[in-house]
Amino acid sequence: MSDKTIFLDRDSTLIEDHGYINHPDQVKLVDGAAKALGEFAAMGYKLIVVSNQSAVARGIVSEEVLEQIHNRLKQLLAENGACLDRIYYCPYHPDAVIPKYRKESNSRKPNPGMLLTAAKEMDIDLGQSWMIGNSNCDVEAGLRAGCKTILINHSPQPEQGKPSPDHRAVNIKEAVNIIKKHHHSSDSSDKHPAKGQQQSGAAQTQPIKTESQEPKSKGQKPKDQDQSLESCEHLLRGILEQLKSTRRDEMFGEFSIMRLMAGVVQVIVLFCLLITIWFLMSPDRQDSSVLISLGFAMVLQMMALTFYIMQERKQ
């Protein structure tokens, strides 16, 4: 029996992307990546990285150093209780600086070559597999190979002229939830036969009644009413999904001490400004008190901005 697999892009999906990585020390796992791989493995999936590595073709990194980088990735995952089954990469690019890597390749995404090669070498059922990545070329490669696809992207809107993924996620943690939900719905459909199948089985075990033997019930709903109810149900379901999608970033965002401190300082700034207004409206106001309050507000505001900037850099 063929295995099912999660194919994963490397940069910005499993490890942080700061441009072309050319040293093992630059490898840093995306938050939640190791835990996500563990959950995928628990669901019975093989885990395979498929990555375009044009940095090799551009002379930025050698294949020997790339192997060290991938060994560092495996080490970090192992330290967090996760592992990969295999890593495939494509070093070729049509505009390569190094001649031996200068060519078009079916392995370079959006071509599905790496996925097809893995399927052949590792006996993978592509129809039961997923491709997860942060770019449209990942989505296209997965679709062309026959996989279901998840695009990790903060934008909920599809790009014009680009392939549409089966699902969108704000990070790999939400991707795990999507696949879990898919498994749950698949298990439910296996346990509970379709409505039409249930009716068919009942017809085989019960006598067939003609209209003259069993008149229509007075309370039976007309077809137009059924269609109207179905349309309303579909509309309400769509509204619920839209509300869920608008809260995704907050649902899967990370708690941040810097952000909390910035928020607290911002509240104190507002309090200082209120005190300043009170001093200004006071009949026996003193300019020194007003200036002190404004000074505190300005200093605290600078602190809040500093915390926000530090948080952004940390991300």
Give residue-wise pLDDT tens across range 151-193.
Answer: 998 665 666 678 899 999 999 999 999 999 998 887 666 655 5
* Annotated catalytic residue within 3, 9, 187, 190: 9
Distance of CA 13 to the CA centre of its chain: 8
Q: Are 96 and 55 contacting, i.e. CB atoms less than 8 angstroms apart?
A: no
The domain ranges of the chain are 5-184, 257-314
Q: Angle at Cα 247 formed by Cα 314 and Cα 41, nearest 5°?
A: 70
5-184: CATH number = 3.40.50.1000
Residue 9 is among the residues annotated as catalytic for this protein: yes
The predicted pLDDT at position 224 comes to 52
Amino acid letter at 5? T
The pLDDT tens digits of the residues spanning 293-306 come to 777 778 878 777 77
The predicted pLDDT at position 125 comes to 97
Residue 226 is among the residues annotated as catalytic for this protein: no
HSE at residue 52, side-chain half, CA atoms within 13 A, is: 23
Q: Please report which helix (H) or strand (E) contains residue 168, including its range.
A: strand 167-169
Please choose, from the candidates 114, 127, 130, 108, the residue with its C-alpha nearest in 3D space to the C-alpha of residue 7.
Answer: 130
The predicted pLDDT at position 203 comes to 36
Q: Angle at Cα 312 formed by Cα 311 and Cα 315, nearest 5°?
A: 90
Residues of the chain with confidence (pLDDT) below 50 = 194-222, 246-247, 249-254, 314-315
State how far the alpha carbon of 194 is from the alpha carbons of 188, 233, 302, in Å. 10, 19, 62
Please choose, from the candidates 27, 17, 129, 13, the residue with its C-alpha nearest in 3D space to the C-alpha of residue 73.
Answer: 27
* Annotated catalytic residue within 11, 138, 187, 287: 11
Cα separation, 203 vs 214, whole angstroms: 15
Q: Which residues is 90 bridged to in the sheet?
A: 52
Please choose, from the candidates 6, 75, 81, the residue with its C-alpha nearest in 3D space to the C-alpha of residue 46.
Answer: 6
